[in-house]
């Protein structure tokens, strides 16, 4: 193990380490912690400039205010309406494509794979004008569907990379023996491969949920009405309206951060596994 376990060090180092740990954590999370505290501050605190101290009273009602006085609930719902189908769609398409690229030898296999991987890294701006144009032209502009379709398509790149690498690691013998039994290729996918990739599907779904939920750029490009805007664009727009009401903006920010954070803490193992795929082997 590197570095050397702290238990083997001097008692002084041991104690200092255990003291340094929470201090480092507090400093690291200070910006976020202050936003959480501010989300329950009173307007008097804000006006008095008490931005960083302990709130003089706990105004959980701030959260009711943002639901009441702003379309925050609608934004939150929109984010869910956009994110959930996008996750299902991209993971489904990528399971199919990833299986084909991992377990079949066919002409152009590696190039198709390279297209998915490379496309995943392009700057969004090179896609912006044509994708927006396409949305206008097909009539989906300013609907949930505009964002769902784009996210499904774009996330398929990363998902295919992920699924292909995972499926490559499955033993060929299982597939081969099913073929010998005369099982059709499609049933092999459905009854043999799909059950085996379930853990990868979970890891991927958590990750894509976070990516899509946190998207900001495309929500500026493809939608504009409050009735379809996801929470990232919504909160950014609200900030323009309440320049000084930091307690409300903070409450909105906490709300926007909540689902990915909850997802992360509940499904941490899957999340990290997905994110660090490839970090331990070439």
When asked if residue 280 is in the footprint of another protein (CB under 8 A), the reply is yes
User: Among 3, 11, 169, 171, which residue sits at the site for another protein (rule: CB under 8 A)?
Assistant: 3
Query: Tokens 């799909």 — which residue?
Result: 194
CA distance 228 to 234: 10
From the CB of 58, what's the least distance to another protein, in Å?
20
Residue (84 or 93) nearer to another protein, CB: 93
* Distance in Å, CB of 100 to another protein, minimum: 4
Query: How many residues sit close enough to another protein to count as binding (CB under 8 A)?
Result: 107
Q: Scan residues 226-255 and list those touching another protein (CB under 8 A).
A: 232-233, 235-236, 239, 246, 249-250, 253
269 binds another protein (CB under 8 A): no
Question: Among 122, 139, 225, 241, which residue sits at the site for another protein (rule: CB under 8 A)?
Answer: 122
Binding of residue 94 to another protein (CB under 8 A)? yes
- Near another protein in 20-59, by CB under 8 A: 21-22, 24-25, 28-32, 34-35, 38, 49, 51-52
Q: Which of 71, 157, 205, 245 forms a contact with another protein (CB under 8 A)?
A: 157
Residues 100-119 that bind another protein (CB under 8 A): 100-101, 104, 106, 109-110, 112-119
- Answer yes or no whether residue 268 interacts with another protein by CB under 8 A: yes
Q: Which stretch binds another protein (CB under 8 A): 80-88, 140-148, 197-205, 215-223?
A: 215-223
Is 64 a binding residue for another protein by CB under 8 A? The answer is: no
Q: Write down the least CB distance from residue 108 to another protein, Å.
A: 10
Q: What is the 3-state secondary structure (H, E, C) of the chain?
A: CCCCCHHHCCHHHHHHHHHHHHHHHHHHHHHHHHHHHHCCCCHHHHHHCCCCCCCCCCCCHHHHHHHHHCCHHHHHHHHHHHHHHHHHHHHHHHHHHHHHHHHCCCCCHHHHHHHHHHHCCCCCHHHHHHHHHHHHHHCCCCCHHHHHHHHHHHHHHHHHHHHHHHHHCCCHHHHHHHHHCCCCHHHHHHHHHHHHCHHHHHHHHHHHHHHHHCCCHHHHHHCCCCCCCCHHHHHHHHHHHCCCCHHHHHHHHHHHHHHHHHHHHHCHHHHHHHHCCCCCCC
Q: Is 126 in the site for another protein (CB under 8 A)?
A: yes
Vertex 260: Cα angle to 257 and 263 (nearest 5): 140
Q: Of the listed pieces 62-70, 80-88, 146-154, 196-204, which binds another protein according to CB under 8 A? A: 146-154
Q: Is 10 in the site for another protein (CB under 8 A)?
A: no
Q: Which residue has the tokens 């993971």?
A: 91
């Amino acid at each position: 193990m590197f570095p050397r376990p702290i238990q083997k060090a001097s008692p002084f180092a041991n104690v200092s380490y255990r003291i340094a740990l929470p201090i480092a954590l507090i400093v690291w999370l200070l910006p976020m912690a202050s936003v959480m505290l501010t989300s329950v501050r009173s307007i008097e605190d804000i006006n008095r400039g008490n931005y960083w101290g302990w709130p003089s009273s706990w105004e959980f009602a701030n959260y009711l205010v943002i639901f009441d006085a702003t379309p925050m609930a609608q934004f939150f719902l929109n984010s869910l309406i956009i994110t959930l189908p996008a996750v299902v769609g991209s993971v489904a398409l990528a399971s199919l494509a990833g299986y084909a690229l991992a377990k079949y030898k066919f002409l152009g296999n590696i190039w198709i794979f390279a297209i998915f991987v490379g496309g995943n890294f392009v700057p969004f701006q090179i896609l912006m004008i044509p994708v927006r144009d396409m949305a206008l032209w097909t009539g989906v502009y300013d609907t949930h569907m505009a964002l769902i379709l784009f996210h499904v398509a774009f996330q398929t790149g990363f998902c295919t990379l992920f699924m292909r690498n995972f499926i490559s690691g499955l033993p060929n013998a299982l597939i081969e023996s099913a073929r010998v039994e005369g099982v059709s290729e499609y049933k092999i996918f459905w009854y043999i491969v799909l059950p085996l990739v379930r853990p990868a599907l979970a890891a991927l779904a958590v990750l894509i949920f976070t990516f899509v939920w946190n998207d900001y750029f495309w929500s500026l490009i493809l939608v504009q009405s409050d009735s379809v805007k996801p929470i990232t664009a919504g909160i950014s727009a609200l900030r323009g309206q309440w320049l000084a009401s930091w307690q409300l903006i903070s409450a909105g920010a906490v709300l926007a951060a909540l689902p990915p954070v909850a997802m992360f803490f509940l499904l941490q193992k899957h999340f990290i596994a997905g994110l660090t795929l490839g970090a331990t082997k070439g």
